[in-house]
Structure 1
Amino acid sequence: MLDGGHTKDQWCHDIHVQAQAPLWTSDNGRLEVDVAAKYGQHLGALYGNSPPSYGGAGIYRFRF
């Protein structure tokens, strides 16, 4: 899954992107492990750009 967005006002842009992908699924399909990552940044403000924001996660799912 890939998702992103962009917001623009008079002087600047906010951007963000996030992605999630399956890493492993058990043979019976009840256990799953995914990985996710995200990035965001505020660009072009009056005082310059914000530092980029990064993130990542591991997602464990068990189906009863």
Structure 2
Amino acid sequence: MAKTICTIFAFALLVVSYVVNVNSQQPPKFNFDPPKQPNNDFKVFGGGGGSSKQGLDLNLGAQTKLWESQNGRNTLHGTGTYSQHLGGPYGNSKPNFGGGVTFTHHFG
């Protein structure tokens, strides 16, 4: 008799723990949003032109975000440039290098 009561008690405990466990589990959450891309605000740009008789003008530059405020209204960008004239009747010019910082504030 005691063995039967213990078996029933153990079975009841098993059922209760299963019901509590099933009810406490949250359904799986599916995220259908595309993953956020890192904000690597790095840009490279360039250009050039000329002819075989006059030579070639070459321009290269880059810009990247150095800092952004928490609300996104203020940004600080750093820039770097390179330009040079290559070839032509007067030969190559000395390379020109430049750099700068740009601060932007969005009103509104």
Q: State if a TM-score over 0.5 links the two structures.
A: yes
Q: Deviations over 1:7-63 (max 9, x none)?
A: 130231110011111000011111100001111000012232101111111000111
Aligned residue among 47, 50, 72 for 1:8: 50
Identity level (%): 38
Match of 1:25 in 2: 68
* TM-score of the aligned structures, taking structure 1 as reference length: 0.88
Match of 2:93 in 1: 50
Match of 1:49, SS?
Answer: coil
Hey, which of these two has a bigger chunk of helix by percent? Answer: 2
Unaligned runs of 5+ in 2: 1-42
- CA RMSD across the alignment: 1.1
Unaligned runs of 5+ in 1: none
* 2:46/2:61 contact within 8 Å kept: yes
Q: What is the number of residues matched between the two proteins?
A: 64
| Bigger Rg, which one | 2
* TM-score of the aligned structures, taking structure 2 as reference length: 0.55
